[in-house]
Amino acid sequence: MTSVEAIDSICDFCRRQICADVKLKYPKQVNDSGYEYELVTPSVHGMFAPPSKSPKSGDTVEIPSMTVQLLSGNDFPLKKETRLEFQILFVTWSPGMHGKDIFKQDETNPLLFLQWNNQEAKNYYDRAENGWRDVWNWIDKARREFGNAGSIAGMEIDPDGAGIHFEPIKEQDSLPDFYPFWMARLTFSAEAKLLRSVENVAEFL
């Protein structure tokens, strides 16, 4: 397996298993009265995230997004194996609580909760620091999916049992405040068959 194939395979897995059924906030505009947003499916990028675009059909959205990065690799010719170290960066945007984020109990059916959707709800906005929950709920989903996968496109995930590591993005061992953006990362090892023939990479050059 080539490095490019490995990155593309992890990206495809993330799109199918981690992002397809997830909707997160995307900022439509920023003004003094609050933030308008819409819910979008997160984008997945390989190595680097492109500049942000509007979330129209066919366009990519930089935030929310995942960026799959291959940090390092080692070939073991005697074992015919390649060891790869991956990092996935998660970025979300959430400035606080909007009216349409709130679900209220139906007056006639206590088992039914309906989205708050009147003029008062449209005007409601509570600037808060609890937006970090979005990125950590997303990380939790990724942990489960990678942990349950076992292997992806022939790559064995966590072959040594060292675990799948996750943590917030840090600067000089402290947690920076980039409100209303929230960032975390997940790292893991993968093992694949060693690439023997250069003919296999011709199509990528």
Q: What is the pLDDT of residues 76-87, one digit of tens each?
A: 998 899 999 999
Domain identity same for 19 and 54: yes
Residue 189: name the closest of 89, 82, 91 by CA: 82
Can you tell me the distance from the alpha carbon of 63 to that of 185, in angstroms, rounded to the nearest whole number? 15
Per-residue pLDDT averaged across 13-39, rounded? 81
Per-residue pLDDT averaged across 79-101, rounded? 89
Query: Structurally, how many domains does the chain consist of?
Result: 2
Domain identity same for 53 and 29: yes
Can you tell me the distance from the alpha carbon of 41 to that of 48, in angstroms, rounded to the nearest whole number? 18
pLDDT value at residue 198: 54
Per-residue pLDDT averaged across 97-107, rounded? 74
pLDDT value at residue 107: 79
3-state secondary structure string across the chain? CCHHHHHHHHHHHHHHHHHCCCCEEEEEEEECCEEEEEEECCEEEECCCCCCCCCCCCCCCCCCEEEEEEEEEEEECCCCEEEEEEEEEEEEECCEEEHHHCEEECCCCCCCEEECCCHHHHHCEEECCCCHHHHHHHHHHHHHHHHHHCEECCEEECCCCCCCEEEECCECCECCCCCCEEEEEEEEEEEEECCCCHHHHHHHC
User: Is pLDDT of 56 > 60?
Assistant: no
Domain identity same for 11 and 102: no
The pLDDT mean for the chain works out to 85
Domain identity same for 179 and 79: yes
Domain identity same for 165 and 114: no
Domain range for 117 is 97-128
Domain identity same for 8 and 70: yes
CATH number at residue 198: 3.30.2000.10
pLDDT value at residue 66: 95
Domain identity same for 30 and 109: no
Can you tell me the distance from the alpha carbon of 71 to that of 170, in angstroms, rounded to the nearest whole number? 17
pLDDT value at residue 197: 62
Which of the four pLDDT bands, split at 50, 70 and 90, describes residue 105? confident
Handedness of CA 16, 18, 22, 26 (dihedral sign): negative
* pTM listed for this prediction: 0.82
Domain identity same for 50 and 142: yes
Report which of residues 101 and 174 the model is more confident about: 174
